[in-house]
C-alpha cells in the first residue's frame, strides 16, 4: 500500500461512477429484462466496477469488508475508511 493521495480520490471516483452506471442499468433491466443491449451494458459496467474496486483496494486499502486479502490478520481496521475523510 502506498498511502493516501490524489490517486485514491481518482480511483474512488471511478468506483462511484461505475457503481452509478451499474445501478442505473439495473433499474432499466428491471422493467426491460429482454433488452440485449442493456444486458450487454450491464456486463460491461459490472466489469468496469469490479476493476475499479480492485484498483482502489490495491492502491488504497480495502473498500469493502470482502476486500480484505490478508489471511493472517484482519487488516480491515488498519486504514482509515473512505468515509472518514482521508480521500476527500
| 31-54 pLDDT tens trace | 999 999 999 999 999 999 999 999
pLDDT at 70 over 70: no
The torsion angles phi and psi of 8, rounded to 5 degrees, stand at -65, -40
Q: How far apart are CA 34 and CA 30, in angstroms?
A: 10
**Residue written as grid cell 468506483:** 15
Exposure b/e, 3-21, CB count within 10 A at least 16 = b: ebeeebeebbebbeebbeb
pLDDT score at 4: 47
pLDDT tier for residue 2 given thresholds of 50, 70 and 90: very low
Contact at 8 Å (CB) between 39 and 25?
Answer: no
- Give the residue extent of every domain in the chain: 6-80
Amino acid at each position: 500500500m502506498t498511502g493516501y493521495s490524489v490517486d485514491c480520490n481518482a480511483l474512488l471516483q471511478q468506483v462511484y461512477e461505475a457503481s452509478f452506471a451499474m445501478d442505473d442499468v439495473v433499474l432499466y433491466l428491471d422493467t426491460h429484462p429482454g433488452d440485449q443491449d442493456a444486458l450487454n451494458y450491464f456486463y460491461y459496467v459490472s466489469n468496469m466496477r469490479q476493476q475499479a474496486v480492485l484498483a482502489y483496494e490495491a492502491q488504497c486499502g480495502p473498500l469493502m469488508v470482502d476486500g480484505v486479502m490478508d489471511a493472517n490478520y484482519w487488516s480491515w481496521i488498519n486504514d482509515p475508511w473512505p468515509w472518514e475523510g482521508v480521500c476527500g
